Amino acid sequence: MIYADNAATTRLSRVALEAMLPFLEEEYGNPSSLYGLGQRARTAMNAARKDIASALGANPKEILFTSGGTESDNWALLSAAAKGFQKGKRHIVSTSFEHHAVLNTLNSLKSEGFDITLVNVSNDGIVRSEDIKNAIREDTCLVSVMYANNEIGTLQPIREIGSICKERGILFHSDAVQAVGHLPIDMSEEPVDLMSVSAHKFHGPKGVGLLYVRSGIDLPNLMQGGTQEFGKRPGTENLASIAGMAAALREAVQKIPQTSTRVSELRDLLIHKLSEIPHSSLNGDPVQRLPGNVNFCFEGVEGESLIYLLDQKGICASSGSACTSGSTDPSHVLLAIGRDYETAQSGLRLTLSEDITKEEILMIANAVSESVDTLRGISPTWKDLRNGKKPFKL
């Protein structure tokens, strides 16, 4: 099997597993308990928080553990909106190609009376900071722009947007679920107030993540309960997962200098190979993208059928983000970068980890090429394109 869907989730790393095991076995204490077993758990949790903070260039108090990216996004958006509401500010700026954890939270805020501006994304999959600037109003309380897109991997001008927000005194949130552990991120230099992180995207366990909250920002709670997470996020801590996340992040961040160049080179090789398939097109900017992200459209190919054929050949890939496959609607991200409905349905996302080898890249390229040929051979749409009943778009 070749696993090429690392934007969906990643293999749990050995160091993460080993960091977790004690807390799943003998070290099962509650960090709030006063006896030795509990206090050892507290010490381990503090150590994990410190490790994570140092991997991100943050202060440990800025790291709040959550159940993952979706919770972090919800918390950031709903709490920032609540703060804005208190000041009479009910306008939020975001982009049209955010993850659904952001888009649907914004929809819910909209139904509560917030005004939402979703800035359009350019065809290269990069939002222009100028457009964000122009969307900001007097009553804007929050700007939320993802660090890197989860489907097409394009990197957003976070520093520029952050500076604009800073100048205007507006909270800036970034969903960095796809970026953390893959790109060097130093919060002492990133002008970001709130940042969502998920462990299972960098070889940590599922069901755990964090929200970075810059010191000095008093964020209202999402849930009420005990005093865990500085009273901000109640509930007994998921210590095994927190320890796993810390170990995975530390390892991932340490490896970035070696892996990112190597993975980027393999990514570019795959992009080069897939570009040779007639009537195909890369989605998103070829350079400003995550090291492991390859996303293509193939004219006359139905994306989900392509996933099926690749699976038959032992390759795990995705036709959009995993949360949207099965709904059979075209990817909102591909629509946002200007693909039409039909082309958007022909998307293939291959996301590589550092485990990938050059041989595997060539196998993937071959398998995709063969599968595209097979599907075009049986596709009613391709027939219409070939006999001129319908114009080619790619």
Partner 1 sequence: MAKVIVGLSGGVDSAVAAYLLQQEGYEVIGVTVRSWESGISRCCEIDDAQATADLLGIPYRVINCVPDFQDKIEKPFVSSYLNGETPNPCVLCNPEIKWKWMLYAASLYGADMVATGHYASVVLLPNGRYAVKKGADKQKDQSYMLYRLTQDQLAKTLFPLGDLTKDQVRAIASQAQIPSAGKPDSQEICFIPDGSYSRYIEDHVENKSSFSGSFVDEDGNILGQHSGIFRYTIGQRKGLGLALGSPAYVTSIRPRTKEVVVGSEESLYTLDVTCRSLNTMALPNLQDQSGLPVTVKIRYHHEGTPATLTSIGEDQVLLHFDLPVRAATPGQSAVFYDSSGIVIGGGIITR
Q: Which stretch binds partner 1 (CB under 8 A): 129-137, 187-195, 221-229, 373-381?
A: 373-381
Q: Does 328 bind partner 1 (CB under 8 A)?
A: yes
Query: What is the biggest distance separating any 2 CA atoms in the chain, rounded to whole angstroms?
Result: 78
Binding-site member from 47, 82, 118, 309 for partner 1 (CB under 8 A): 309
Binding-site member from 62, 98, 124, 302 for partner 1 (CB under 8 A): 302
Q: In the complex, what is the shortest distance from the CB of residue 309 to partner 1, in angstroms, rounded to a whole number? A: 8
Q: Does 327 bind partner 1 (CB under 8 A)?
A: yes
Q: Does 342 bind partner 1 (CB under 8 A)?
A: yes
Q: Does 187 bind partner 1 (CB under 8 A)?
A: no
Binding-site member from 308, 366, 370, 392 for partner 1 (CB under 8 A): 308
In the complex with partner 1, the residue whose CB is nearer, 285 or 342, is: 342
Q: Does 323 bind partner 1 (CB under 8 A)?
A: no
Residue type at 268 in one-letter notation? D
- The crossing angle, in degrees rounded to 10, of helices 100-111 and 69-86 is 30
Instruction: Number of residues interacting with partner 1: please give it, by CB under 8 A.
Output: 19
Q: In the complex, what is the shortest distance from the CB of residue 237 to partner 1, in angstroms, rounded to a whole number? A: 37
Binding-site member from 33, 378, 386, 392 for partner 1 (CB under 8 A): 378
Q: Does 317 bind partner 1 (CB under 8 A)?
A: no
Q: In the complex, what is the shortest distance from the CB of residue 163 to partner 1, in angstroms, rounded to a whole number? A: 38
Torsion of CA 274, 278, 279, 284, to 10 degrees: 20
Q: Which stretch binds partner 1 (CB under 8 A): 123-131, 256-264, 267-275, 326-334?
A: 326-334
Q: Does 324 bind partner 1 (CB under 8 A)?
A: no
Tokens of 279: 């009537």
Q: 11-30 mask for partner 1 (x: CB under 8 A)? A: --------------------
List binders of partner 1 among 188-227 (CB under 8 A).
none
Task: Give me the half-sphere count of Cα atoms (radius 13 Å) on the Cβ side of residue 64.
Answer: 30
In the complex with partner 1, the residue whose CB is nearer, 257 or 388, is: 388
**Alpha carbon 201 to chain centroid, angstroms:** 8
Binding-site member from 17, 367, 381, 385 for partner 1 (CB under 8 A): 381
To the query of whether residue 316 is one of the catalytic residues in this protein, the response is: no
Q: Does 83 bind partner 1 (CB under 8 A)?
A: no
**Other residues' Cβ atoms within 10 Å of the Cβ of residue 111:** 7
In the complex with partner 1, the residue whose CB is nearer, 137 or 390, is: 390
Handedness of CA 175, 181, 182, 183 (dihedral sign): positive
| Distance (Å, whole) CA 257 – CA 278 | 35
List binders of partner 1 among 132-161 (CB under 8 A).
none
- In this structure, the chain runs to a length of 394
Binding-site member from 380, 387, 388, 391 for partner 1 (CB under 8 A): 380
Q: Which stretch binds partner 1 (CB under 8 A): 23-31, 58-66, 174-182, 336-344?
A: 336-344
> By C-alpha distance, which of 183, 190, 188, 105 is closest to 142?
105
**Inter-residue contact 295 to 284 (CB < 8 Å):** yes
Residue tagged active-site, from 141, 297, 316, 323: 323
Ranges assigned E (strand) in 87-203: 91-95, 115-119, 140-144, 171-175, 194-198
Query: At CA 339, angle to CA 336 and CA 342, rounded to 5?
Result: 125
Q: Does 329 bind partner 1 (CB under 8 A)?
A: yes
Q: Does 390 bind partner 1 (CB under 8 A)?
A: yes
- What is the β-pairing status of strands 209-213 and 280-282? unpaired
How far does the chain reach from its first CA to its final CA, in angstroms?
31
In the complex with partner 1, the residue whose CB is nearer, 70 or 324, is: 324
Q: How does 118-148 read in b/e, with b if 16+ C-beta sit within 10 Å?
A: bbebeebbbbbbebbbebbeeebbbbbbbbb
| Distance (Å, whole) CA 271 – CA 363 | 13
Tokens of 355: 């485990």
**Inter-residue contact 79 to 220 (CB < 8 Å):** yes
Which positions are annotated as active-site residues? Answer: 323
Query: Which residues contact partner 1 (rule: CB under 8 A)?
Result: 302, 304-305, 308-309, 327-330, 340-342, 345, 375, 378-381, 390
